[in-house]
Amino acid sequence: MSDTGVRVVARVVALPEKLEEVKAVVTGLVEPTRKEAGCISYELLQNQDDPTDFTFVEEWESRELLDAHLNSPHLQEAGAKLNGIAAAAPDIRFYTLIA
């Protein structure tokens, strides 16, 4: 199977006492990101067993369009807001579909 797109799994873990603040920041990313060029899908999940654990599952047309997203003002602003309310820096992983 040949695929030039990029898949992303990005995880953000909230400090327990900052759960609602983190949830507001990450949910605020969904609509503007879905409107970006190259965004095929952008889903936000919350762990059923650990509500402080949020995961984005994303699909992008190309690495270049994903890079534009990563440098977008709304994502940069969200990153700044997460500083001090997330347990650690977001864990962002990039994948290529192989099968």
Largest CA distance in the chain: 45
User: Could you tell me if residue 87 is inside a domain?
Assistant: yes
What CATH number is given to the structural domain containing 12? 3.30.70.100
User: Could you tell me if residue 24 is inside a domain?
Assistant: yes
7-64: pLDDT as tens digits: 999 999 999 999 999 999 999 999 999 999 999 999 999 999 999 999 999 999 999 9
Q: What does the pLDDT read at residue 3?
A: 61
- How does residue 1 score in pLDDT terms, banded at 50, 70 and 90? very low
The domain in which residue 59 lies consists of 6-95
User: Could you tell me if residue 1 is inside a domain?
Assistant: no
33-42: pLDDT as tens digits: 999 999 999 9
**Count of CB atoms situated within 10 Å of the CB of 59:** 18
Q: How far apart, in whole angstroms, are the C-alpha atoms of residue 68 and residue 19?
A: 28
Under the phi-then-psi rule, with left for phi > 0, alpha for psi from -120 to 50, and beta for the rest, what region is 13? beta
Residue 4 has pLDDT above 90, yes or no: no
Domain count, the chain: 1
Q: What does the pLDDT read at residue 99?
A: 87
